[in-house]
Amino acid sequence: KMKKGVEEDPTHQPKEEVYYFKTAQQIKTRPNVLYLLFPILDEMKIKYKRQHEDVLVFRYKDFDFSVYGGKDWNYIILTAWYLDVLDPSDDNDINKSNSVIDYINSSLTPRFFYMDVPDGSILVVAKMDMLWIPEIPELGRWFRTGLKNLMDAYMIYDDMKQDPGGIVDAISLGFSSPTPYQA
């Protein structure tokens, strides 16, 4: 269509739907991504604690989470802690956990990994990187989806660890697909 001698751009989207990366100067002046999460956490009635300038910790539905998001980052890291605690001397438990983690890491968006803790045990932790730029609409929806995906992945981990042959059952739980903003 022509309008007053100017061709309309058929790909034009409303301003709030346009995604773009800011210039280097604008990136230096943008707020820390955690500031964008404060109203979302408040709306979800989640009590959070700022552990560091770039780290928030909170408990949600019996899971301990942390969110890492630096001022100059293009993503946030959502981490679920204490999903399992393993005794390093229990080879059977570690082998079961290894096979389940291998399956999850090759099949699902969240990544599970081990951390050594001071008491000598091994902690199973899951994390998910979520891309962000200030122009993403509905950051709250992507954040809630990330929380749900981590909790679903834990249920799959737990089910498969209890019954290592139950991969089909775990898959049938309907793990939600990754969003376009999750890396």
Instruction: Assess whether pLDDT exceeds 60 at residue 19.
Output: no
Query: Residue 117: what pLDDT?
Result: 83
DSSP H or E stretch at residue 46: none
Dump pLDDT digits (tens) for 79-94.
999 999 999 999 989 9
Instruction: Name, in order, each residue with C-beta under 8 angstroms of 119's C-beta and a sequence gap of 6 or more.
Output: none
Instruction: Assess whether pLDDT exceeds 90 at residue 75.
Output: no
Residue 148 binned pLDDT confidence (cut-offs 50, 70, 90): very high
Query: Residue 137: what pLDDT?
Result: 63
Closest CA to 114 of 139, 129, 131, 93: 93
- Dihedral of alpha carbons 53, 83, 88, 114, sign: negative
Instruction: Assess whether pLDDT exceeds 90 at residue 118.
Output: no
Structure-block tokens of residue 183: 């890396």
Q: Are 115 and 125 in contact (CB under 8 A)?
A: yes
Average pLDDT for 134-161: 84
